[in-house]
Chain A
Amino acid sequence: MDTQPAFPVLVCLRLLLAVLPLPGQDLLKHDHQLSSPLTSYLRLNEGLWLLENNINPYTGGAFHHSPLLLSLFSTIVPPLPIIWAVSDAVGAWALLRIWRARQGLSPQKGTRSNAENLIVSVYFLNPYLLLPSLALSTSTFENTLTLLALMFASEGKVSSALLAIAFTVHLTPSSILLLLPILMVLVSSPVSYLASPRPFHGNLKRIPILFGEFTLYWLVLVGAACIMAGGSWDWVRASWGASLALPDLTPNPGLWWYFFTEMFDHFRPFFLMVFSVHLVIYILPICIKFQHDPLYAAFLLVGVLGTFKAYLTLADPGLFLSMISLFPEVHGYLRHPIVTTLLHLHAALLLPLQHVLWVSEGRGNANFYYAASLVMGMAGGAGLVDACWAGMRIAVGDATVWAEEKVDGEKGKGKAIWWEVVQQ
């Protein structure tokens, strides 16, 4: 691996953060923005303790982690902060390799070190990713696995990519959204064709075979999980079922929990179905529209997960935001990046404040926090929509060309005219 100055420095800093006793770490672990019941370190520890004392952790309704994590941390390594730091490093490294694959560079050796430094720092220094990682939320592992799956897919390593996505889907079933674009990347290429769309360029017949391989890996993981969980199927209900049936209504920055605190019980199954199906709806349209660039489709679906997922934490939108750095070609076509930034700024300030107002001070109530999570939803939606349109707009032409032709009229809204051409 070629040396860019940023990567080793940031890895060292991150490791230092893991080793040093930081003040306020306990506060981070309890923070509802940074870890949900499905990813919380405290719950993980609870499960480990129960396991040590020969109690099935999945019976109590408090433990929702995958048996794979349980067995990893009970037999191989204890859950030390250093593992989260290493996971962050691997994630950043994967992001870098995806970038190289997309630019058609050799995976071992990059050239544009400025861009590469930027990508690495955007991953390490993104507060939405760093804070959950410092709070020891297992969403860090999910993000790293997602990036690894994308990395292997971009580099054309079929089995590794499928295994990685099988792991990801095992940890968070909603990651199934990313399966189709990853398969598409595997049979075509990760190189950017956003500017020159073309019909899907790849051997579609391989997809069922790859899907079969994925299913095989996934089944093996399920079997392994069953063995680790002592041969019972309780864990399926407790870990996968949790993101579908929403048994734990601990508040989080996502859009699900409040609806289901307010809902009458007899409507619950219906709306659970609606919310879950809503996520799946995005797969086909995005994959069809971006069939020329499946990596971009995967990026957009990460954005969908980062906005509409059950048990959302800041790590999910964080992954989307950090992945924006992979696609510098669309940056010029984003229409309202500053509005998205401001929305994220508002959301990032409002969420903890409203949480304090409601939970610790008792002055506010759940509506306050929900209002903040709606702002978060708007921020996620604004980013997603903007990225989506930018990815399509780039195919049409250069915004600056049009801007130059625009004479002395109302300034600033040049892109609107430009749009007319797109449509005509």
Chain B
Amino acid sequence: MDRIRGFLRRPRRPDANVARLRRRRQAAAYIHRNLTKLTTALFIIGYAWMLLIPLSSLSQGTYIDENALQPAQVNTYWNWGDVHTADLQLYQLDGIRERNLTSEQRAEFFRIEFSKLGLAASIQNYTFSTSKGIISGNNAYAVMSSPRAAGTEAMVISASWLSRAGHGALNLRGTSTVLSLAAFLKDYSLWAKDIIFIISDDYLHGMHAWLNAYHGTIPSNLHTDPLEHTSGVIWTALNIDYSSHSFSHLGVFYEGLNGRLPNQDLINSFRLISHYTGGVPMTVYDHLEPSDFVDRLPEQSLFPSWVASFIQQSSQLQQYGYRVRNVVRHLGYQARGMCSGVHGLMHQFRIDAITLFAVPADGPHGFHALGRIVESTLRTMNNLLERLHASFFFYILTSPGTFMKIGMFLPSVILVSVAMLFKGLGEWVTAGWVCEISEASLKDNEAKKPSPAKGTWRNRRRPLLSALIVVVTTHVIGVLVFNLVCSRWFAEYPSFLAPAIFAVVSVIPLLLLPLLSTNAPEAAPTSMLLKSSNLCLSSTVISIMSLLNFSLAALLAITMGVPLVTSYTSSSTMTSRLRYAGYCVLAWGWLVLVPGEVESAIWNWEVLGVWFAPFICIVYAPLVMQAAIVCLQGS
């Protein structure tokens, strides 16, 4: 028994533990001493990484992950006869345009055309009520039952009446492609999935109404009847946008609502099919690759004309510039939660969808190439035995043939967010200590020459309550502003209300100040605690958002990263007022500066349910306002 006891109480070397604790303490002290250097390094690496995203060496070649897809492995049957059908349809559609038919008459025409083919066709009427007024329209659609299966799954081919090319361009050729494809595809017995043809009204809201009716998720501001014909679960969809006379490239648009992306396999298969079956090169968006337009260099060049020509002609820089354009455009769509085309509405229903945009040109391609490509893509989609795999949804398409995996771009934002977190924790630790300079040492200093005063570090309380009140108040203000911005009044008088709201939200925090400016010597000043909590919260928001919507997280990392870290209480009133004003502009300035963006964000929220507007009002702006209050406090 004694031996066992002796074994258990074996004398341990006391030095080992002490040494370990010393080491740990030194490491902690080292980190704390060098916190500014560390966070600066993290910021620099993070931001530099963001700049490096378009580098071609960071991207990798695309590949097909799902073996069942087998892209471009089939003979296509679409031929000149079918092109003739498409031309005839186009002729009729031109007539419709010239006669200026109403939306109902148009939809009725499409329904009759589908019915003539023997498809189950119908019309959907819908009405959206928004703060801007009422939007209504009519979609025509037809369901082709699969000859081979029970119709539990479906594919969609759609065209919207308006083209994404803008300026009221009509998607006449896209529509006639859908109509002639309906006539063509029903002659083949190889379809294992139902095919749904949709010609949606207007640009976005027609398809939105149809999809909501199909999936039974009708929001309260949409009035529509249940669909007459339905089919199975929609797995994949192609949206065709072909408004010009002919095209040289097929551009792929892939961003969906709220930053959702379709499975990359769909884009990759389409690229192979477009290249090998149709002989049409694919582009990302309507951006031509530098090699595609040697003769058109100046107009698509990234550089201004005064840059030396050897720089303009450097192929690596051109390549970088091309990728920058792609990435920036991607960021622009994804960060705002906007969809880059009609396909983007489908992602929320787990439908993998892309828009094929026929890049306008004088030639050489037309209905013949497009029909074959769509036919072959449908055959590929038809091969699917299960939904496309889950690991292929997070990517940045830097060029048609290369992409970045999530691991290659995510760290940039995470590093910035970690830097903010460190800074916030450092601020929290600093807030807990106060250096007291005793009177004796002060007298000593006066007597002798001024030497660094020896003070005593003492713990102090960190009353979080007042900081939390500020945090909650700013977010409540955010909710109120959001409700106001979405109200009918704002829609009617935006030019008056926007500056008014901006003025009010900039003044309200000033009223909070008397509550907070008590800096008792034994407690930490509220501004430090507020800054600490603000940094920790923002870091949390950024790092969590980075997975859901990388672009938005990157935008937040840029707009909030350095400004929030550098918020401090200035001793001079003037400086702190100026800084406060700067933060106010950063937080709420968009109300006044970009009225167009505000309007589109509100429309997107009300009709399409995009979270960008509420996120900015309720999360982003209050966080920046907290930094503003940090600057003001104590002045």
A residues lining the B interface (CB < 8 Å)? 338-339, 342, 345-346, 349-350, 353-354, 357-358, 361-365, 368, 399-400, 403-404, 406-414, 416-417, 419-420, 423-424
Q: Which 3 A-B pairs have the closest CB atoms?
A: A416-B25, A410-B29, A412-B429
With A338-B536, A408-B435, A411-B32 given, name 16 new contacts (CB 8 A).
A339-B425, A346-B543, A349-B540, A353-B548, A357-B547, A362-B350, A362-B390, A363-B394, A403-B433, A410-B32, A411-B430, A413-B25, A413-B28, A414-B459, A420-B18, A423-B17
Chain A min CB distance to B472 (Å) = 14
Partner of A420, one of B22, B348, B393, B435: B22
- The reply to whether A407 and B454 form a contact with Cβ atoms under 8 Å apart is yes
Chain A min CB distance to B401 (Å) = 23
Chain A min CB distance to B351 (Å) = 10
A353, A403, A411, A419, most chain B CB atoms within 10 A: A411
- The reply to whether A404 and B458 form a contact with Cβ atoms under 8 Å apart is yes
Determine chain A's interface SS by DSSP, over half rule: helix
Chain B min CB distance to A293 (Å) = 23
Chain B residues with CB under 8 Å of A420's CB are 18, 21-22, 25
- Roughly how many angstroms separate A338 CA and B467 CA in the complex, as a whole number? 15
Does B100 count as interface, using CB distance less than 8 angstroms?
no
Does B457 count as interface, using CB distance less than 8 angstroms?
yes
- Roughly how many angstroms separate A365 CA and B406 CA in the complex, as a whole number? 14
- Roughly how many angstroms separate A212 CA and B29 CA in the complex, as a whole number? 54
Does B215 count as interface, using CB distance less than 8 angstroms?
no
Chain B min CB distance to A291 (Å) = 17
- Roughly how many angstroms separate A354 CA and B545 CA in the complex, as a whole number? 11
Partner of B21, one of A349, A404, A423: A423
B425's closest neighbor in chain A, by CB?
A338
Chain A residues with CB under 8 Å of B454's CB are 407-408
Does B251 count as interface, using CB distance less than 8 angstroms?
no
B residues lining the A interface (CB < 8 Å)? 14, 17-18, 21-22, 24-25, 28-29, 32-33, 260-261, 348, 350, 387, 390-391, 393-394, 421, 425, 428-430, 432-433, 435, 454-459, 536, 540, 543-544, 547-548
Chain A residues with CB under 8 Å of B350's CB are 361-362
B25, B261, B435, B454, most chain A CB atoms within 10 A: B25
- The reply to whether B540 and A413 form a contact with Cβ atoms under 8 Å apart is no
- Roughly how many angstroms separate A40 CA and B23 CA in the complex, as a whole number? 49
Chain B min CB distance to A415 (Å) = 9
Chain A min CB distance to B601 (Å) = 22
- The reply to whether B455 and A412 form a contact with Cβ atoms under 8 Å apart is no
- Roughly how many angstroms separate A217 CA and B425 CA in the complex, as a whole number? 50
- The reply to whether B421 and A411 form a contact with Cβ atoms under 8 Å apart is no
Partner of A350, one of B393, B459, B544: B544
Known: A342-B536, A363-B393, A408-B435. A357 touches B548 (CB 8 A): yes
Known: A350-B544, A362-B387, A403-B458. A410 touches B33 (CB 8 A): yes
- The reply to whether A353 and B260 form a contact with Cβ atoms under 8 Å apart is no
- The reply to whether B428 and A338 form a contact with Cβ atoms under 8 Å apart is yes
B433's closest neighbor in chain A, by CB?
A411
Partner of A407, one of B18, B32, B261, B456: B456
Chain B residues with CB under 8 Å of A358's CB are 390
- Roughly how many angstroms separate A408 CA and B425 CA in the complex, as a whole number? 20
- Roughly how many angstroms separate A215 CA and B260 CA in the complex, as a whole number? 56
Chain A residues with CB under 8 Å of B457's CB are 403, 406-409, 411, 414
Chain A residues with CB under 8 Å of B29's CB are 409-410, 413, 416
- The reply to whether B390 and A419 form a contact with Cβ atoms under 8 Å apart is no
- The reply to whether A342 and B540 form a contact with Cβ atoms under 8 Å apart is yes
Sampled A-B contacts (22; CB under 8 Å)? A338-B536, A339-B425, A349-B544, A357-B547, A361-B260, A361-B350, A362-B350, A363-B260, A363-B390, A363-B393, A403-B433, A403-B458, A404-B456, A410-B32, A411-B457, A416-B29, A419-B21, A419-B25, A420-B18, A420-B21, A423-B21, A424-B18
A360's closest neighbor in chain B, by CB?
B350
- The reply to whether B459 and A403 form a contact with Cβ atoms under 8 Å apart is yes
- Roughly how many angstroms separate A218 CA and B533 CA in the complex, as a whole number? 48
Chain A residues with CB under 8 Å of B21's CB are 416, 419-420, 423
- The reply to whether A346 and B456 form a contact with Cβ atoms under 8 Å apart is no
Partner of A365, one of B24, B391, B548: B391
Chain B min CB distance to A29 (Å) = 19
